[in-house]
Amino acid sequence: MSLKLFNTLSGKPESFKPLDDKTVRIYSCGPTVYDAPHIGNFRAFLFFDLVKRYLRFLGYEVNHVMNITDIDDKIIARCGEEGKTLSELTNEYRAAFEKDAVSLRIDLPDTMPAATDHIDDMIDLIKQLIDKDYAYLTDDGSVFFKIGSFPNYGRLSNIDTSQLSSTERVTDDEYGKENPQDFSLWKAWKEEDGEVEWESPWGRGRPGWHIECSAMSMKYLGEEFDIHCGGVDLIFPHHENEIAQSVCATDKLFVNFWLHCEHLLVNGAKMSKSLQNYYTITDLINRGYTASAIRYLLTASHYRHKVDLTEEHLLAASQAVNRFQDFRRRLEKLATSSSGHEADLPVLDEFRKAMNNDLNIAEAMGKVFDWIREVNRKIDSNDLTTEEAGRFIEVLDKIDSVIAVVSDDKPEITDEEATMIDEREKARQEKNWSRADEIRDYFRSRGFELEDTPDGTILKLSKEGSDKL
């Protein structure tokens, strides 16, 4: 059975095949770097990462491009507030984004082009659209895309443009539009823009939001590529507009598969700053949740369903991840060396079968947990050979190449604390239980758990976050 992915364009699952048969070309909409990215943004970035990792699991090469939006209204406003230049601000938040992405084990895209480095490409694209009469210039020097010139406009979002409300507000910088629904390709300079400006054939100004993705995706991936993904909120208008611009400019397909992931909720509500339920990765890690638990929660639910970030769900995710990590630790104890041959077990086929069905990760995880129980049973009854243990580690790691939650979140302790663990071992041998428990309680208060096994004591991170959400 081959991979099926739900294509927003058709509204149903379709068999996936790369356009060139071996390398999958993916473009995903990246962060707007005007503030620290929040956990909701990361649900999308983790989704892109999952898609990419799974395609590699299937044996495809992947070429992934993700833009960095470093020019837009919010960024300009923020520069004013913080008294920073555009590049100071955007470099700072781009770095923050990359740091959090790495901490969540997101495999960074092959190319992360910044919009401001591609103004010329955007201008070229806009020129083509004007030449072909898909776009027009207004008196103030702005350029708009004429949606009426593109018959397929609305197909992705399933919106009938004639049904769109005609009482659209027209903002200050958008007067002169022939149709209220036309969107801007180039925005003429305004006083609020300050020093943020570029020269263009239409005078100084800056690009509209949507054009960067068309220009950069086609520049790095070609005029036709395999997958374009983003959050559901981007379907309209962002991706609809991207299609209009790109298809009209090239008369090509542009994108074969459009994939969109659902939003993350916090305690059942949409995230917003006014509700103070606006978390960053650093917030959650500082509260004692591990990167693996966060990753599991955001990734192990189906991407087209909403996920609710709550204390209870984080705890459940954390336990699920512990189960994987403890399992690997048990295998490590038994395995002498890796078997060296290609790992293959029925569980991998079951995992693949589930994931092939539009990334049905819940079912896939169910199969993996079934397998883990079966192997644990074998370990308990001393039936597992060292050779098998080595092979099972390979299988687990193969699964982890997709889910990326099994490798340990290593607890960090001081030298004195390391000595305390030795001291506790001695106390236990002397049956000084009160001292042994005292030391364990100390570690608990620090967010660690000491687990005694026949082969010695293991230090783990506690499952619970230290601060409530």
158-177 residues in contact with RNA (CB under 7 A) are 158-160, 163-165, 168
* 349 makes contact with RNA (CB under 7 A): no
- Interaction residues for RNA, span 421-440 (CB under 7 A): 428, 433, 436-437
Backbone angles phi, psi at 207, to 5 degrees: -75, 155
User: If we measure between CA atoms, which residue out of 208, 236, 184 comes closest to residue 72?
Assistant: 208
Site for RNA in 256-315 (CB under 7 A): 261, 263-264, 270-271, 301-302, 305-308, 312-313, 315
Number of residues that bind RNA (CB under 7 A): 76
What DSSP character marks residue 154?
Answer: T
Q: How far is it, in rounded angstroms, from Cα 246 to Cα 211?
A: 9
Stretch near RNA under the rule CB under 7 A, chosen from 119-127, 137-145, 194-202, 321-329: 321-329
| Helical residues (DSSP H) of 180-257, grouped into ranges | 211-221, 240-250
- Which of 127, 287, 323, 398 is close enough to bind RNA by CB under 7 A? 323
Interface with RNA, residue 339, by CB under 7 A: no
Cα angle at 253 between 237 and 236, to 5 degrees? 10
Smallest gap from Cβ 20 to RNA, in A, equals 27
Rounded Cα distance between 70 and 89, Å, is 9
DSSP line for 7-57 = ETTTTEEEE---TTSSEEEEEE---BTTS---HHHHHHHHHHHHHHHHHHH
Alpha-carbon span 374 to 362, nearest angstrom: 19
**Which residue in the set 74, 132, 204, 252 belongs to the binding site for RNA (CB under 7 A)?**
74
Q: How far is the CB of 398 from RNA (least distance, A)?
A: 18
Q: Does 469 bind RNA (CB under 7 A)?
A: no
Contact string (CB under 7 A) for RNA, positions 357-386, x = contact: xx-x-xx-xx--xx-xx--xx-xx------
For the bound state, the minimum distance from the C-beta of residue 269 to RNA, rounded and expressed in Å, comes to: 8
If the CB atoms of residues 18 and 153 are measured against RNA, the closer one turns out to be: 153
Which residue lies nearer to RNA by CB, 4 or 23?
4
Q: Which of 91, 236, 417, 447 binds RNA (CB under 7 A)?
A: 236
**Binder to RNA among 80, 148, 180, 194 (CB under 7 A)?**
180
Positions in 215-234 near RNA (CB under 7 A): 230-234
Select from 107, 357, 71, 326 the least CA-distant residue to 215: 71
Helix axes 291-299, 311-334, angle to 10 degrees: 110
Q: Report, in Å, the least distance between residue 366 CB and RNA.
A: 3
Q: Per CB under 7 A, which of residues 84..123 are in contact with RNA?
A: none
Asked whether 69 and 287 are in contact (CB, 8 A), the reply is no
Q: Which stretch binds RNA (CB under 7 A): 79-87, 199-207, 324-332, 397-405?
A: 324-332
Residues 443-462 that bind RNA (CB under 7 A): 449-453
Q: Does 209 bind RNA (CB under 7 A)?
A: yes
The phi, psi pair for 467, rounded to 5°, reads -115, 140
Query: Can residue 76 be called a binding residue for RNA (CB under 7 A)?
Result: no
- Minimum gap (Å) between residue 264 Cβ and RNA: 4
User: What is the DSSP annotation of 323-371?
Assistant: HHHHHHHHHHHH-SS---SPP--HHHHHHHHHHHBT--HHHHHHHHHHH
Radius of gyration of the chain (CA): 26
The answer to whether 137 and 188 have CB atoms below 8 angstroms apart is no
The nearest distance, CB 21 to RNA, in angstroms, is: 27
